[in-house]
A and B are shown apart, each in its own frame.
Chain A
């Protein structure tokens, strides 16, 4: 036993790499080998309830602050939130504060349109804007004077001619702000520069790494819940999937009756995530056992 752990302590790190790789790869190739039920986290529930409380025709500003590097974590949230919003007949306004934001937003919208779930029209039900440099200053500008920075949508159509833009002058004209973030600028800047001073409800979906830094805002209500990384996305996807399936039966007028509702991307990835986490925990335990025996040997 003792020898096993001492040998284990000096294992080549490439073996660990290989095991981690396999723990992710196998559940992805064979998803039915490990199937686990998803439990909804309290903060995800708060996000869901906040959006569920919005009314038909409300205006929601979505801010895209992530890129290719964090797409697997944040993108599924964006798609799920968009589905939830459109199914309630809510108007969606998309801005981007990261260089890759517009592309991510477009990919998410393309996915929504391709799903054929909703009869939505660009410029009437949703509108997208280009990337702006400046981070927190752009947020401050959106808070004070939206039309000062955005004169045209991403199709270069003047916003005066867009029906969806009627009555939008600053952040207070939105009923809710939702931020998808992966760093700076991100949800902290939205809290500080726009939503706290102007008292607009804000919620966020972010990468796992940002969660502990944002959690004081969540507990104080400055953020209405938070979607934390891929598990947060999977939980939200599950809730939206159940909601949409239910609404389809109830003949929701915003949902196409002949469309297929899919479960979403993050949902399917949860078993791989779980297995990898379990393996990490096993590594930590084994590492500590070998540390214990090593120390005992040294006396």
Chain B
């Protein structure tokens, strides 16, 4: 029997994995507990990381450069983001929550200003430009280009709601739906692919932790969980009766 922090960790890891997977049987306390732990731990994780990687060096590193030693020079103007940041936290106090609006306004306004340009550039103009038909290419490619142009145009007509989808507009938007359906089918195929890949990753871990080296963590925890779940579901059906 080997015993150290890594082995304990592996046992915890297997337990957590199987707790989540137990949801396949139905909603149960194992799943609920692990789900709640997940929420707490991830909040703590993000909190710590934002503090040590961002706020501490980039904000306090500029307000107290010698103490923090993040390589920045003293810039007192950074008191403004500090104040705005604290305003943000006032959201939790109802009587002062209006102060948070100023901080939110900064974020929203700036994001809007930046998005305005980049979306026009990358997602509208460049996409239209690249939907053009290149007549210098081979026949097959020209056919594909025409198909793409047709698809983009007809699907955009489908998104155009200012005119009723009847007659010619209706026919074109119908073709647009076909292109969108193919896109959604492809998205679905990729979604399946992604989920299966993640499952493979989890199963690989479970398989590697079922060896002697880890004191047979997976089989032992799996069997005990099945037994407990069996007893639990038997008991809850008894109380229902």
Tell me the A residues contacting B by CB distance below 8 Å: 14, 17, 20-21, 24-25, 28-29, 69-73, 99, 102, 130-133, 136-137, 140, 149, 151-152, 158-159, 191-193, 196-197, 207-209, 211-213, 216-217, 219-222, 228-231, 269, 272-273, 276-277, 280
Contact = CB atoms under 8 A, between A and B. Distances in A.
Interface residues of B, number: 45
Contacts of A230: 193-194, 197, 200
A219 B141 CA distance: 12
Give chain B's interface secondary structure class. helix
Contact of B197 (A25, A99, A208, A216): A208
A258 B135 CA distance: 53
Nearest to A191: B122
B200 A24 contact: yes
Q: Which of B126, B129, B200 has the most CB of A within 10 A?
A: B200
A152 B121 contact: no
Contacts of A272: 196, 200, 203
Contacts of B192: 277, 280
A85 B75 CA distance: 39
B238 interface: no
A229 B190 CA distance: 8
A152 B71 contact: yes
Contacts of A193: 114, 118
B49 interface: yes
Given A151-B72, A191-B122, A222-B126, A208 B194 contact: yes
B186 interface: yes
A14 to B, nearest CB: 7
Contacts of A191: 122
8 contacts: A24-B199, A28-B200, A28-B204, A152-B57, A273-B200, A277-B192, A277-B193, A280-B192
B110 interface: yes
Contacts of A207: 194
A191 B126 CA distance: 11
A276 B201 CA distance: 13
Nearest to A212: B187
B130 interface: yes
B198 A70 contact: yes
A211 B189 CA distance: 11
Given A132-B54, A151-B71, A208-B190, A196 B198 contact: no
Nearest to B70: A151
A72 B46 CA distance: 21
